[in-house]
Amino acid sequence: MNEVASIAEQSLKQRASAALGGRNLTLVGLMGAGKSVIGKLVAQALNVPFVDTDAEIEKVSRMTISELFASYGETEFRALETRVIERLLKQGPRVVSTGGGAFINEATRAQIKAGGVSLWLKADLDVLWERVNRRDHRPLLKTENPKQTLENLMIQRYPIYAEADLTVLSHNVRKDVMVNEVLKALAGLPKAGLAKTGDMP
Ligand SMILES: Nc1ncnc2c1ncn2[C@@H]1O[C@H](COP(=O)(O)OP(=O)(O)O)[C@@H](O)[C@H]1O
Ligand SMILES: O=C(O)C1=C[C@@H](OP(=O)(O)O)[C@@H](O)[C@H](O)C1
Ligand SMILES: [Mg+2]
Protein backbone atom coordinates (compact mmCIF):
# COMPACT_ATOMS: atom_id res chain seq x y z
CA MET A 1 0.00 0.00 0.00
CA ASN A 2 1.39 3.44 -0.85
CA GLU A 3 1.75 6.20 1.74
CA VAL A 4 -1.33 8.15 0.62
CA ALA A 5 -3.53 5.02 0.72
CA SER A 6 -2.16 4.13 4.14
CA ILE A 7 -2.93 7.62 5.53
CA ALA A 8 -6.45 7.45 4.04
CA GLU A 9 -7.02 4.06 5.67
CA GLN A 10 -5.83 5.31 9.08
CA SER A 11 -8.09 8.32 8.74
CA LEU A 12 -11.09 6.10 7.91
CA LYS A 13 -10.42 3.97 10.99
CA GLN A 14 -10.17 7.08 13.15
CA ARG A 15 -13.38 8.56 11.77
CA ALA A 16 -15.24 5.27 12.23
CA SER A 17 -13.93 4.93 15.77
CA ALA A 18 -14.86 8.50 16.66
CA ALA A 19 -18.36 8.08 15.25
CA LEU A 20 -18.87 4.85 17.19
CA GLY A 21 -17.77 6.81 20.26
CA GLY A 22 -17.38 4.03 22.80
CA ARG A 23 -20.59 2.22 21.87
CA ASN A 24 -20.98 -1.45 20.97
CA LEU A 25 -21.24 -2.33 17.31
CA THR A 26 -23.56 -5.30 16.75
CA LEU A 27 -23.67 -7.09 13.40
CA VAL A 28 -26.96 -8.65 12.36
CA GLY A 29 -28.15 -10.43 9.22
CA LEU A 30 -28.89 -13.81 7.73
CA MET A 31 -26.70 -16.93 7.88
CA GLY A 32 -23.78 -16.56 5.49
CA ALA A 33 -23.79 -12.76 5.43
CA GLY A 34 -20.29 -12.73 6.93
CA LYS A 35 -21.13 -11.47 10.44
CA SER A 36 -18.63 -13.75 12.20
CA VAL A 37 -15.76 -13.34 9.75
CA ILE A 38 -16.12 -9.64 8.93
CA GLY A 39 -17.02 -8.71 12.53
CA LYS A 40 -13.71 -10.05 13.78
CA LEU A 41 -11.78 -8.04 11.17
CA VAL A 42 -13.76 -4.87 11.93
CA ALA A 43 -12.93 -5.28 15.63
CA GLN A 44 -9.24 -5.55 14.76
CA ALA A 45 -9.46 -2.44 12.58
CA LEU A 46 -11.17 -0.48 15.39
CA ASN A 47 -8.92 -1.99 18.04
CA VAL A 48 -11.82 -3.12 20.24
CA PRO A 49 -12.55 -6.62 21.58
CA PHE A 50 -14.58 -8.98 19.41
CA VAL A 51 -17.13 -11.55 20.45
CA ASP A 52 -19.28 -13.92 18.42
CA THR A 53 -22.50 -14.73 20.26
CA ASP A 54 -22.73 -18.29 18.88
CA ALA A 55 -19.15 -19.00 20.02
CA GLU A 56 -19.98 -17.58 23.46
CA ILE A 57 -23.17 -19.67 23.68
CA GLU A 58 -21.17 -22.78 22.75
CA LYS A 59 -18.59 -21.90 25.41
CA VAL A 60 -21.08 -21.40 28.26
CA SER A 61 -23.23 -24.40 27.36
CA ARG A 62 -20.31 -26.64 26.40
CA MET A 63 -22.45 -27.76 23.47
CA THR A 64 -22.46 -26.93 19.79
CA ILE A 65 -25.32 -24.87 18.37
CA SER A 66 -26.57 -28.02 16.60
CA GLU A 67 -26.52 -29.99 19.86
CA LEU A 68 -28.40 -27.21 21.66
CA PHE A 69 -31.11 -27.15 18.99
CA ALA A 70 -31.35 -30.96 19.03
CA SER A 71 -31.44 -31.34 22.82
CA TYR A 72 -33.44 -28.29 23.92
CA GLY A 73 -35.11 -26.88 20.79
CA GLU A 74 -35.05 -23.42 19.28
CA THR A 75 -37.10 -21.75 22.04
CA GLU A 76 -34.55 -22.63 24.73
CA PHE A 77 -31.71 -21.65 22.39
CA ARG A 78 -33.30 -18.21 21.91
CA ALA A 79 -33.72 -17.73 25.66
CA LEU A 80 -30.04 -18.52 26.20
CA GLU A 81 -29.08 -16.28 23.27
CA THR A 82 -31.01 -13.36 24.80
CA ARG A 83 -29.28 -13.78 28.17
CA VAL A 84 -25.82 -14.13 26.66
CA ILE A 85 -26.23 -11.10 24.39
CA GLU A 86 -27.52 -8.95 27.25
CA ARG A 87 -24.37 -9.75 29.23
CA LEU A 88 -22.01 -9.27 26.29
CA LEU A 89 -23.45 -5.86 25.48
CA LYS A 90 -23.10 -4.75 29.10
CA GLN A 91 -19.45 -5.79 29.07
CA GLY A 92 -18.74 -3.62 26.02
CA PRO A 93 -17.70 -1.65 24.08
CA ARG A 94 -17.16 -4.51 21.67
CA VAL A 95 -17.88 -5.62 18.19
CA VAL A 96 -20.58 -8.28 18.65
CA SER A 97 -21.39 -10.66 15.82
CA THR A 98 -24.76 -12.27 16.41
CA GLY A 99 -26.35 -15.43 15.05
CA GLY A 100 -28.88 -14.74 12.30
CA GLY A 101 -31.98 -15.16 14.48
CA ALA A 102 -30.87 -12.93 17.36
CA PHE A 103 -32.20 -9.63 16.00
CA ILE A 104 -35.48 -11.32 15.05
CA ASN A 105 -36.23 -12.10 18.69
CA GLU A 106 -38.05 -9.07 20.08
CA ALA A 107 -36.29 -9.01 23.46
CA THR A 108 -32.84 -9.45 21.92
CA ARG A 109 -33.55 -6.81 19.28
CA ALA A 110 -34.50 -4.31 21.98
CA GLN A 111 -31.24 -5.03 23.83
CA ILE A 112 -29.16 -4.64 20.69
CA LYS A 113 -30.85 -1.35 19.82
CA ALA A 114 -30.39 0.00 23.35
CA GLY A 115 -26.86 -1.33 23.62
CA GLY A 116 -25.16 0.57 20.79
CA VAL A 117 -25.07 0.67 17.03
CA SER A 118 -26.60 -2.13 14.96
CA LEU A 119 -25.42 -2.90 11.45
CA TRP A 120 -27.17 -5.21 8.97
CA LEU A 121 -24.89 -7.11 6.63
CA LYS A 122 -27.30 -7.64 3.74
CA ALA A 123 -26.70 -10.15 0.97
CA ASP A 124 -28.71 -11.63 -1.85
CA LEU A 125 -29.86 -15.24 -1.89
CA ASP A 126 -27.23 -16.60 -4.26
CA VAL A 127 -24.36 -15.10 -2.26
CA LEU A 128 -25.77 -16.52 0.99
CA TRP A 129 -26.51 -19.89 -0.51
CA GLU A 130 -23.09 -20.31 -2.06
CA ARG A 131 -21.53 -19.60 1.36
CA VAL A 132 -23.77 -21.64 3.66
CA ASN A 133 -23.83 -24.57 1.27
CA ARG A 134 -20.13 -25.21 1.99
CA ARG A 135 -20.82 -26.35 5.57
CA ASP A 136 -23.61 -28.21 7.35
CA HIS A 137 -23.45 -26.91 10.94
CA ARG A 138 -26.56 -24.69 10.74
CA PRO A 139 -29.54 -26.59 12.21
CA LEU A 140 -32.20 -24.39 10.60
CA LEU A 141 -30.93 -25.39 7.16
CA LYS A 142 -31.23 -29.14 7.71
CA THR A 143 -34.39 -29.28 5.62
CA GLU A 144 -35.44 -30.98 2.38
CA ASN A 145 -34.76 -27.82 0.40
CA PRO A 146 -32.32 -25.62 2.33
CA LYS A 147 -32.09 -22.97 -0.38
CA GLN A 148 -35.87 -22.54 -0.24
CA THR A 149 -35.65 -22.38 3.57
CA LEU A 150 -33.06 -19.63 3.28
CA GLU A 151 -35.30 -17.74 0.86
CA ASN A 152 -38.27 -18.08 3.24
CA LEU A 153 -36.11 -16.72 6.06
CA MET A 154 -35.12 -13.77 3.86
CA ILE A 155 -38.77 -12.95 3.22
CA GLN A 156 -39.62 -13.17 6.94
CA ARG A 157 -36.55 -11.49 8.31
CA TYR A 158 -35.41 -8.77 5.91
CA PRO A 159 -38.07 -6.25 7.03
CA ILE A 160 -36.83 -6.73 10.61
CA TYR A 161 -33.10 -6.53 9.84
CA ALA A 162 -33.98 -3.26 8.08
CA GLU A 163 -34.58 -1.76 11.54
CA ALA A 164 -30.80 -1.78 12.13
CA ASP A 165 -29.11 1.62 12.34
CA LEU A 166 -26.88 0.91 9.33
CA THR A 167 -26.99 -1.41 6.32
CA VAL A 168 -23.97 -2.60 4.34
CA LEU A 169 -24.24 -4.83 1.29
CA SER A 170 -22.27 -8.05 1.63
CA HIS A 171 -21.01 -9.37 -1.65
CA ASN A 172 -18.11 -11.44 -2.88
CA VAL A 173 -15.37 -8.87 -2.66
CA ARG A 174 -12.17 -9.26 -0.65
CA LYS A 175 -12.77 -9.30 3.09
CA ASP A 176 -10.68 -6.16 3.65
CA VAL A 177 -12.90 -4.38 1.12
CA MET A 178 -15.96 -5.44 3.17
CA VAL A 179 -14.26 -4.15 6.33
CA ASN A 180 -13.74 -0.77 4.66
CA GLU A 181 -17.42 -0.70 3.64
CA VAL A 182 -18.38 -1.21 7.27
CA LEU A 183 -15.94 1.48 8.46
CA LYS A 184 -17.32 3.91 5.86
CA ALA A 185 -20.88 3.27 7.06
CA LEU A 186 -19.77 3.88 10.65
CA ALA A 187 -17.91 7.04 9.75
CA GLY A 188 -21.17 8.46 8.40
CA LEU A 189 -23.04 7.92 11.68
CA PRO A 190 -24.41 10.92 13.55
CA LYS A 191 -22.42 11.35 16.75
CA ALA A 192 -24.53 13.62 18.91
CA GLY A 193 -27.23 12.59 21.34
CA LEU A 194 -26.76 8.83 21.14
CA ALA A 195 -26.33 6.67 24.22
CA LYS A 196 -22.99 5.14 25.20
CA THR A 197 -22.70 1.51 26.25
CA GLY A 198 -22.64 2.43 29.97
CA ASP A 199 -25.97 4.26 29.66
CA MET A 200 -28.00 1.19 28.79
CA PRO A 201 -30.57 -0.08 31.29
N1 LIG B 1 -16.80 -10.96 1.61
C2 LIG B 1 -16.70 -12.29 1.57
N3 LIG B 1 -16.21 -12.87 0.48
C4 LIG B 1 -16.12 -14.20 0.41
N5 LIG B 1 -16.49 -15.07 1.40
C6 LIG B 1 -16.98 -14.54 2.51
C7 LIG B 1 -17.12 -13.13 2.66
N8 LIG B 1 -17.66 -12.90 3.86
C9 LIG B 1 -17.83 -14.11 4.44
N10 LIG B 1 -17.41 -15.08 3.63
C11 LIG B 1 -17.45 -16.54 3.90
O12 LIG B 1 -18.81 -16.93 4.03
C13 LIG B 1 -18.92 -17.95 5.02
C14 LIG B 1 -19.92 -17.51 6.06
O15 LIG B 1 -19.38 -16.43 6.79
P16 LIG B 1 -19.74 -16.19 8.33
O17 LIG B 1 -18.93 -15.05 8.81
O18 LIG B 1 -19.67 -17.47 9.08
O19 LIG B 1 -21.28 -15.75 8.18
P20 LIG B 1 -22.38 -15.53 9.30
O21 LIG B 1 -21.69 -15.46 10.63
O22 LIG B 1 -23.06 -14.26 8.92
O23 LIG B 1 -23.29 -16.72 9.16
C24 LIG B 1 -17.52 -18.18 5.58
O25 LIG B 1 -16.96 -19.28 4.91
C26 LIG B 1 -16.79 -16.90 5.21
O27 LIG B 1 -15.39 -17.08 5.06
O1 LIG C 1 -30.39 -17.62 11.55
C2 LIG C 1 -30.48 -18.28 12.61
O3 LIG C 1 -31.54 -18.37 13.26
C4 LIG C 1 -29.25 -18.95 13.13
C5 LIG C 1 -28.02 -18.53 12.68
C6 LIG C 1 -26.76 -19.12 13.12
O7 LIG C 1 -25.72 -18.14 13.14
P8 LIG C 1 -25.06 -17.51 11.80
O9 LIG C 1 -26.03 -16.47 11.29
O10 LIG C 1 -23.79 -16.90 12.28
O11 LIG C 1 -24.86 -18.62 10.85
C12 LIG C 1 -26.93 -19.74 14.51
O13 LIG C 1 -27.12 -18.75 15.50
C14 LIG C 1 -28.09 -20.68 14.55
O15 LIG C 1 -27.79 -21.73 13.67
C16 LIG C 1 -29.41 -20.00 14.17
MG1 LIG D 1 -21.83 -16.48 12.44
Ligand that lies nearest to the alpha carbon of residue 121, given by its number in the listed order: 1
Transcribe 81-120 into DSSP letters: HHHHHHHHHHT-S-EEEPPTTGGGSHHHHHHHHHTEEEEE
pLDDT number for residue 4: 77
Q: How far from chain centre, in Å, is Cα 117?
A: 11
pLDDT in 10s for each residue of the chain, 201 residues: 777 777 878 899 999 999 999 999 999 999 999 999 999 999 999 999 999 999 999 999 999 999 999 999 999 999 999 999 999 999 999 999 999 999 999 999 999 999 999 999 999 999 999 999 998 899 999 999 999 999 999 999 999 999 999 999 999 999 999 999 999 999 998 764 444 555 554
Supply the pLDDT for residue 200: 52
Report how far ligand 1's centroid is from the alpha carbon of 200 (Å).
30
Q: Is the CB of 140 under 6 A from ligand 2?
A: yes
Among 37, 66, 128, 137, name the best residue to mutate to test ligand 1's pocket (greatest count of ligand atoms within 8 A of Cβ): 37
Q: How far is the CA of 97 from the centre of ligand 3 (A)?
A: 7
Domain boundaries in the chain? 13-187
Instruction: List binding-site positions for substrate.
Output: 54, 78, 100, 157
Pocket of ligand 1 (CB under 6 A): 29, 31-38, 131, 172-173, 175, 178
The alpha carbon of residue 184 and the mean position of all alpha carbons in its chain are separated, in whole angstroms, by: 16
Distance CA 23, CA 173 (A): 27
Ligand 2 lined by 99 (C-beta under 6 Å) = yes
Count, in order, helices (H) and strands (E) of the chain: 8, 5
- Architecture label for domain 13-187: 3-Layer(aba) Sandwich (3.40)
Q: Which atom of ligand 2 is nearest to the CA of 54?
A: 13
**Using CA atoms, how far apart are residues 103 and 121, in angstroms rounded to an integer?**
12
